Structure 1
Amino acid sequence: MASAYYEFYRGSTIGMALTDSLDELITSGAITPQLAMKVLQQFDKSLADGMFKNVKTKVTLKGHLRNYRNCDDVWTFFVRNPAFKMEGNEQVGAPKIKIIACKSMEA
């Protein structure tokens, strides 16, 4: 059965740490690969649900769009010299960013 949630949070720092820990547990025989997959699927669901329900901050983004693509309703944008203006007028910048946007499961 395919997961109804995107797996891109697995590439985050916490997702990679979880994957490494699960690999160690599989190698030591403490858990099965099937259980590890269930844990990762729950991680995908929990993180997506948590982001949808808890992140309410609005941000304005300005930068130079270098490239974009769309594949299977997942948009990827590559932006150089982005400037984020957050609520309260706090500003944050970076040399480059990648934005991944997908259709909400709640839509």
Structure 2
Amino acid sequence: MAHHWYRNTTSGNSLQESLDELTQSQQITPQLALQALLQFDKAVNSLLAQRVRNRVNFRQSYGSLTTYRIGDNVWTFVPNDVEFSKVTALIKVDKVKIAACDDENTGSNAKE
């Protein structure tokens, strides 16, 4: 099963609730509701690919990788003592959780 984190946004939740109501009142079929969600997935992925250009580099200064695991094609890493750098800023954190999902279209990994 794919990890569609954006379905838990306000827009995603509203869409799911509306589709549930329409399905329960038999105004649309469950198959049509599923097609609407799949179209939403395509639209969000397309917008993210086109508009998100921010990149952040990180490195682990001297800590350790506390946890790593994979489930449902989602990798989760929890390293300690990490530095994040952007063009104009350096941020140091004691602990961070990083989740990376398999991109269904290309087979590459996409970071959240």
Report TM bin, short chain: 0.5 to 0.7
Is 1:29–2:26 an aligned residue pair?
yes
Does the 8 A contact of 1:57 with 1:87 survive in 2? no
| SS across alignment from 1:24 | helix
1:30 and 1:94 map into 2 onto residues whose CA distance is 51
When normalised by structure 1's length, the TM-score is 0.64
1:68 and 1:15 map into 2 onto residues whose CA distance is 28
Which has the larger displacement, 85-94 or 57-66? 85-94
Does the 8 A contact of 1:77 with 1:98 survive in 2? yes
CA displacement at 1:57 relative to structure 2 = 0.6
Is 1:16–2:13 an aligned residue pair?
yes
| SS across alignment from 1:105 | coil
RMSD: 3.3
| SS across alignment from 1:66 | strand
Rate the CA distance shift 1:78–1:7 in 2: closer, same or farther, 3 A.
closer
Unpaired segments of 5 or more residues in structure 2?
Answer: none
1:70 and 1:47 map into 2 onto residues whose CA distance is 24
What does 1:15-94 align with in structure 2 at a 5 Å threshold?
A: 15-62=12-59, 65-70=65-70, 74-79=73-78, 84-89=84-89, 91=91
Q: Report which of the two structures shows the higher radius of gyration computed on alpha carbons.
A: 2
Unpaired segments of 5 or more residues in structure 1?
Answer: 1-5
Number of residues of Structure 1 aligned to a counterpart in Structure 2: 101
CA displacement at 1:49 relative to structure 2 = 1.6
Does the 8 A contact of 2:3 with 2:101 survive in 1? no
For 1:100, the equivalent position in structure 2 comes to: 100
Identity across aligned pairs (percent)? 30
